[in-house]
Structure formats: structure tokens, C-alpha cells
């Protein structure tokens, strides 16, 4: 009997954790390795050591298809938005499709805040087991919900999340796995649940490939890879579309960035690999 993808912890969430665990230089997540099977952990350390050798950094990036570079830069870009929001007085964070996000355990800025992590039940169970022996810096609650079927309001109802206070919504690396209807209804739901001053930090993906025969091959290759992982790609937007979608949902002032900007912020060169299709958008609720 085969296991339905929904009955096991998300493989894409583990893949992202692998990318963050290897990281790029100082940009890495020291807790991400916990999300990986024990057998894989020595290989992660080997890759990190190899990246420190002459020419090793580029070789490791190529071996991982750029996943480590992209995941590390994205992590840093989202961390910066989280820090900014907390600095500006937002005291509650809801991580939508949290996977193996480790911010509540590693970000000093979240000390004293309330963090709610939402994901499907199987991933939530694995996540809780993974972090069971690490003390969180924030006050963390876990919610099991399938955003394609469940209402976020109902899911958050039993938690200490307070809809009358501003919320930072972190919706990182989830949108491509939802169809357009689920993306729109979730975005509208987030806006409706947002007290004035709330913020949204989310990533989405441009259509991959970029046109032509080569583009079509890259596109079908990427689709096939995610199908095999049991988490098919279901939506893609260009910057204009996502801006319009969020505005329609009720958010304001959307700002879109990509890996080129994230790399520049930390003085690194921009990756030009397949993950460059993923973008970050921030928006506010007035």
C-alpha cells in the first residue's frame, strides 16, 4: 500500500530545510538539519565542509541545483521582514504552511511574541516531534489545517491569536502548491482576519521556463519533479498579477523583490538558477 502524500510530512518542506541547513556561507539555519532523516545529516555536514574548500561553494550550489543558495537568501529576506514587523510593534505572527520553519526557535527578535504555525496534520506532527527538545524563543502554538479545505478562522479559533491585534502573516513557499482559487480565497481570508496595521510576507513563483523550446523543457521538468514529490505546482503569477490579486483581496502597498535584491542586501552575487522564479511580496492592511 502506498502512502498518500497528505499522510506523510511534506517533502518540499524537507527539501527547503535541506537547503537552509546547507546554506551559503554564514547564511544558514542551524536548526534545519533536525527536519532531515538522521542518515542524511552527515551528508549535509559534508556539503557544508565542501563549500568551504576552494571552488567548493560553486560545486555545492551546482550539486543542489541552487536550492541551498535560494533557500538561504529567501530565509534571510523573510527574517528581515519579520524583524522589521516586530520592531514596528507587531506582536503576533501566523506562519501559514509553516513546514519546518524554525524562526520561533532561532530568531531573538521573536522573543516574547506569539507565533502560530499552520500546516497539514502530518507535517505538523513531524514538526512538533522535530522541535520537541528545543526551547522556543516565542510562545508557539501549532494548528493542523488544510488550507484547500479548511477555514483559517476556524483553524485559528482555539488559539490565543487575537484578531483585534495586528498580525504578521508569513506565507512562504506555499502559494505555488495551491490552485488559483485557494490562493485568492486564502489571501482574502488573511485580509479579512487582519486588524489594521497587519502585514503580509509571502512568496510566489513566476511561470518557470521563460518561453521557447528550452523554456518549455525547463517548465515540464520542474512540474514533473514536484509531481513526483506528491506536491504538484498549481499556480504561477507575474509581479503585476500578484499585485492585483493582493489589492483585490484587501491588502495595500505591495512591494515585490527577488533573489537579485536579496543577494545584494547581503553583499552576495545573485544566483541564476531555476529557483530564481520565486519572488517575495510584502503588503499591509490599513
Ligand X SMILES: C[S@@+](CC[C@H](N)C(=O)[O-])C[C@H]1O[C@@H](n2cnc3c(N)ncnc32)[C@H](O)[C@@H]1O
Q: What's phi and psi for 162, nearest 5 deg?
A: -115, 110
The residue (of 113 and 186) whose beta carbon lies closer to ligand X is 186
- Residue whose beta carbon is closest to ligand X: 99
Q: How far is the CB of 229 from ligand X (least distance, A)?
A: 9
Full strand arrangement of the beta sheet holding 252-258: 139-144, 114-119, 92-96, 167-171, 199-205, 278-284, 252-258
Q: How far is the CB of 151 from ligand X (least distance, A)?
A: 12
Q: Output the nine-digit C-alpha cell for 95.
A: 506562519
| Beta-ladder partners of 95 | 117, 170
CB 245 within 8 A of CB 183: yes
Q: How far is the CB of 211 from ligand X (least distance, A)?
A: 25
The residue (of 64 and 212) whose beta carbon lies closer to ligand X is 64
In the chain the first and final C-alpha atoms are separated, in Å, by 50
The residue (of 113 and 203) whose beta carbon lies closer to ligand X is 203
Q: How far is the CB of 231 from ligand X (least distance, A)?
A: 7
d(CA 131, CA 100) in angstroms, rounded, equals 9
The residue (of 114 and 126) whose beta carbon lies closer to ligand X is 126
The residue (of 146 and 192) whose beta carbon lies closer to ligand X is 146
Q: How far is the CB of 120 from ligand X (least distance, A)?
A: 5
Task: Report the candidate in 89, 133, 93 with the shortest Cα–Cα distance to residue 116.
Answer: 93
Q: What are the counts of helices (DSSP H) followed by strands (DSSP E) for the chain?
A: 11, 7
Q: How far is the CB of 46 from ligand X (least distance, A)?
A: 22
Q: What's phi and psi for 14, nearest 5 deg?
A: -70, -40
d(CA 150, CA 241) in angstroms, rounded, equals 25
The residue (of 35 and 51) whose beta carbon lies closer to ligand X is 35
Q: How far is the CB of 13 from ligand X (least distance, A)?
A: 4
CB contact set of 232 (below 8 Å; sequence gap of 6+): 177, 223, 226
The residue (of 123 and 282) whose beta carbon lies closer to ligand X is 123
Residues in contact with ligand X by CB under 6 A are 10, 12-13, 16, 97-101, 119-120, 123, 146-148, 172-174, 177-178
Distances (CA, A) of 74 to 58, 156, 217, 281: 18, 26, 25, 12
Amino acid at each position: 500500500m502506498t502512502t498518500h502524500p497528505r499522510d506523510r510530512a511534506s517533502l518540499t518542506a524537507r527539501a527547503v530545510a535541506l537547503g537552509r541547513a546547507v546554506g551559503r556561507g554564514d547564511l544558514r539555519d542551524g536548526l534545519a538539519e533536525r527536519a532531515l532523516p538522521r542518515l542524511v545529516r552527515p551528508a549535509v555536514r559534508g556539503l557544508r565542509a565542501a563549500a568551504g574548500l576552494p571552488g567548493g561553494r560553486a560545486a555545492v550550489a551546482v550539486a543542489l541545483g541552487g536550492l541551498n543558495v535560494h533557500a538561504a537568501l529567501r530565509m534571510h529576506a523573510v527574517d528581515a521582514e519579520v524583524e522589521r514587523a516586530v520592531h514596528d510593534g507587531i506582536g503576533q505572527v501566523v506562519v501559514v504552511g509553516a513546514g519546518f520553519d524554525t524562526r520561533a526557535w532561532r530568531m531573538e527578535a521573536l522573543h516574547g511574541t506569539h507565533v502560530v504555525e499552520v500546516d497539514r496534520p502530518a507535517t505538523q506532527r513531524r514538526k512538533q516531534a522535530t522541535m520537541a527538545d528545543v526551547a522556543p524563543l516565542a510562545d508557539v502554538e501549532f494548528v493542523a489545517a488544510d488550507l484547500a479545505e479548511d477555514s483559517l478562522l476556524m483553524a485559528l479559533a482555539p488559539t490565543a491569536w487575537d484578531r483585534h491585534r495586528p498580525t504578521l502573516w508569513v506565507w512562504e513557499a506555499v502559494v505555488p502548491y495551491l490552485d488559483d482559487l485557494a490562493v485568492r480565497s486564502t489571501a482574502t481570508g488573511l485580509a479579512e482576519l487582519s486588524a489594521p496595521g497587519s502585514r503580509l510576507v509571502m512568496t510566489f513563483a513566476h511561470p518557470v521556463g521563460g518561453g521557447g523550446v528550452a523554456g518549455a523543457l525547463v517548465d515540464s521538468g520542474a512540474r514533473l519533479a514536484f509531481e513526483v514529490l506528491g506536491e504538484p505546482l498549481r499556480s504561477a503569477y507575474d509581479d503585476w498579477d500578484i499585485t492585483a490579486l493582493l489589492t483585490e483581496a484587501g491588502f495595500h502597498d505591495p512591494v515585490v523583490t527577488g533573489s537579485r535584491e536579496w543577494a545584494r542586501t547581503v553583499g552576495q552575487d545573485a544566483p541564476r538558477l531555476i529557483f530564481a522564479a520565486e519572488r517575495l511580496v510584502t503588503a499591509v492592511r490599513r
